[in-house]
């Protein structure tokens, strides 16, 4: 989890984790938690003397929410509204192409495989040539493409959860300092 230094109106300096913002506006002074909803932890003082206690309460709540809230996934859950076919999310095609020097076109499906913290990877799943194409071969290729996508999503979600837990542990270590 990333931390940044925040200097409040009284001149005090704090190391604040992402997900917590400082609010200093007229008669409102406190820390606002912005993770799985919002909650204000007021200093309950006009001079900022309660800021440290309020920040500790906000960080305790942040840690609790990170532990108990599944991470928000960036995986696309449904096909784009502009998609013109009924293939599952992450799968497009069939792509028909004539390879250099070839005389018969071949067909394949394109599968987008998400990778946590990295660029997605594209894989091609062969269906058949234009001479051997059948509905059964298309269905077999689609089943294989769906299986590849599902496996990649499981790996992605596992890595995503591990990163969220690591963020909670990092916050816990920072709190012990």
What's the pLDDT score for residue 39? 96
Q: What is the mean pLDDT of the chain?
A: 88
Q: What is the pLDDT of residues 98-128, one digit of tens each?
A: 989 989 999 999 999 999 888 889 999 999 9
How confident is the model at residue 41, as a pLDDT?
96
**Measured between alpha carbons, how far is 57 from 65 in angstroms, rounded to an integer?**
12
Sequence ranges of the domains in the chain: 3-69, 91-166
Model confidence over 156-176: pLDDT tens digits? 988 888 887 776 666 666 655
Whether the model clears a pTM of 0.75, i.e. scores above it, the answer is: no
Query: Above 80 in pLDDT, residue 149?
Result: yes
In the chain the beta strands, taken as DSSP E runs, fall at: 3-7, 13-17, 20-25, 28-34, 38-42, 91-97, 106-113, 121-129
Return the structure tokens found at 4: 């940044």
13-17/38-42 β-pairing: unpaired
Within 8 A by CB and 6+ apart from 137, the residues are: 127, 128
Q: Does residue 134 carry a pLDDT above 60?
A: yes
What is the percent of the chain with per-residue pLDDT over 70, rounded to a whole number? 90
Whether 21 contacts 32, CB under 8 Å: yes
């Amino acid at each position: 989890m990333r931390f940044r230094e925040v200097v409040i109106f009284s001149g005090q300096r704090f190391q604040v984790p992402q997900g917590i913002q400082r609010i200093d506006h007229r008669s409102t002074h406190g820390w606002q938690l912005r993770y799985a909803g919002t909650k204000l932890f007021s200093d309950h003082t006009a001079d900022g003397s309660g800021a440290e206690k309020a920040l500790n309460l906000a960080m305790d709540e942040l840690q609790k929410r990170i532990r108990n809230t599944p991470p928000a996934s960036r995986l696309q859950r449904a096909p784009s509204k502009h998609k013109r076919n009924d293939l599952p999310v992450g799968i497009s095609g069939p792509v028909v192409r004539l390879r250099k020097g070839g005389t018969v076109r071949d067909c394949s499906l394109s599968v987008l495989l998400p990778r946590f913290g990295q660029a997605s990877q594209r894989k091609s799943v062969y269906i058949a040539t234009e001479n051997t194409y059948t509905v059964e071969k298309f269905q077999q290729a689609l089943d294989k493409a769906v299986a590849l996508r599902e496996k990649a999503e499981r790996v992605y979600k596992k890595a995503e959860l591990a990163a969220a837990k690591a963020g909670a542990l990092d916050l816990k270590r920072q709190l012990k300092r």
